[in-house]
Amino acid sequence: METKVIKSTAKKKSYVVEGATLKCNQGDKKSELCVTPNHGIYIRDKSQANINDFVPMKNIKAFGKCKSLANPTVAAATAANKDKLKKMPCIPAITMQWIAGKTDVLIGKFPALLNTSTIMCTYAGKITIEKDGQG
pLDDT of 55-88, one tens digit each? 999 999 999 999 999 999 999 999 999 999 999 9
In this model, does residue 6 exceed pLDDT 90?
no
Please give the model's pTM, rounded to 2 decimal places.
0.88
Predicted local confidence at residue 38, as pLDDT = 78
Q: Does residue 87 contact residue 63 with C-beta atoms inside 8 Å? A: no
Domain-embedded: residue 64: yes
Domain-embedded: residue 36: yes
Domain-embedded: residue 7: no
Domain-embedded: residue 12: no
Domain-embedded: residue 5: no
In this model, does residue 131 exceed pLDDT 80?
yes
What is the domain extent for residue 69?
A: 21-131
Among candidate residues 52, 38, 44, the one with its CA nearest the CA of residue 19: 44
pLDDT of 19-53, one tens digit each? 999 999 999 999 999 997 778 899 999 999 999 99
Domain-embedded: residue 6: no
pLDDT of 88-129, one tens digit each? 999 999 999 999 999 999 998 999 999 999 999 999 999 999
Domain count, the chain: 1
**Separation CA 22–CA 60 (nearest Å):** 8
Domain-embedded: residue 1: no
**Centroid of chain to Cα 20:** 9
- Strands (E) located in the chain: 21-24, 31-32, 42-43, 46-47, 65-66, 88-89, 102-107, 110-112, 118-120, 126-131
Domain-embedded: residue 11: no
**Separation CA 84–CA 14 (nearest Å):** 41
